[in-house]
Structure 1
């Protein structure tokens, strides 16, 4: 018997900060899709909200969709949760403010949710393109930094290498367990989709009811590193997480300002430790799997510190700050894994205060 797909709606939430030039590229591509959102929700934490509000007004004028623009406190997870509170559609997209959609991408994503008549899919992410949509950057107000350009050109082989060497990244301990648990859906090959270990933050979409039950981790502040993995794993309680090759996006990364390298180094380890400790319990890992998660989290942290030390010895001052931050966060790994689940969030907040990160 042929499947009976039901037409579903979707809203788009974009968390942004000090990037009106990025929104000027992103919004027209979203609204030019063959499947358009019911709402466009922009949650802005810019120092000056006016330029963002103006770009949103200019790019959405006459488009015939509901637009919500709010100015709020900084924090990726906080802003995304605020945006989620405005969502009323069946599905919600969370692109970054510098995510460029190829034609047909929203339709490819929605095809999967609509084909999932048994409601066993909680989240879908499109593929990453190594090149931008044709003409999308004509007259663009900014270009990517050299380091971001190198990352974009090598994302394909770096992703493949990461999958060949899963021992390097402790997230594969939990991610692969969840992939193994995914239901066997007969139509996945037809839509070029398959279960994935987690989604990356610039291309996330969710079934709204699944994400609303969990939200984005509220204890993550500032840049909210790993909030994307956390949300991907949290919604696995309600269904599987899929990737599809039919839809594509290009991450035209906005040049960042001078980074707090100490803070990023410390956050990278503290947030990872919190993520792994939390989901080792919440995802029902066995005692042996939990020990493996701890072992690989420690090993990964040591590898990161060694790499930073080598860069620092070559005169990289930023790497020296990375290393200082990671050293400060190192004890948090054992502390978080040893904590009772009920005490985990409070302990993590205490650790952030102790090591001086947002």
Structure 2
């Protein structure tokens, strides 16, 4: 069928709206008419070449929409269902079988660029485009995905809220609720008030953590953090010694620190913000492939600290369903992060994400 996609023709160039063709679903596939898609940092990193992906290509991976067609073996959704798109997974590797679906071991589902049978998921004038970006490629009016990439959603969840749940939001929320797991009376420092950091904050508010501190350099974002429930906020630009400030606020060090900024120097500081015993560090931000940080071995061992790399919030389908329920209960106000753009303005949305003008740009169709 005919569709319209925003095609990346060359790196560091604006996306170009182009007519494309979407195949009929195979036995385990679902064709979705997109109603919304978020813009994520990973999309920006493809556009500038930081994340290798072939061109011409169609990226995007925070989708919401309506099921238009299903394959013969599909049972979890039906034509007409409202769905959110989530990270692809094989369903039979160790992570999938043990509740860690979003860290599936089959990397081809995220980066393979074609369908499981090797044929293109999107063509233009008979030529295949690189697609299935993170299993989705949602910068288009329609997409063809595997069944395990769709999640039926309540009609009451707005499209612009549903779309970002599948990546940026679940990453932040899962980092707190599934990885760091705040205990009663503990303190949490979140470095970076972007969509991941603010999602982490909204999740933390639903725990028994006694102290939630947000660190950023943007006063408007710090004010939003206050409104969303932060116990305290710290402007990194206006703080002479960030580590000392955090230790003073937490009485010697934060039980947990979540690093979302991908700034190596800030990650190094994060290691020093923990207490002398049993601190937990969650690392979400992904700087360049050569970036490193250090931690002296004896202090690390003697403090019994935990270092946690966080991929997609260690999420799974059930966890995303839970976030939908929290939103509907008024306890997880994702809509406060969202700014919507039309599909025709997709390049404006990308620019707003890159500049920080918008926290979570969402394109609506």
Instruction: Please report the TM-score for the alignment, with normalisation by the length of structure 1.
Output: 0.31
Tell me which protein shows more helix as a share of its residues: 1
Indicate the structure whose relative CO is greater, using CA pairs within 8 Å and at least 6 residues apart: 1
Tell me which protein shows more strand as a share of its residues: 2
Instruction: Please report the TM-score for the alignment, with normalisation by the length of structure 2.
Output: 0.30
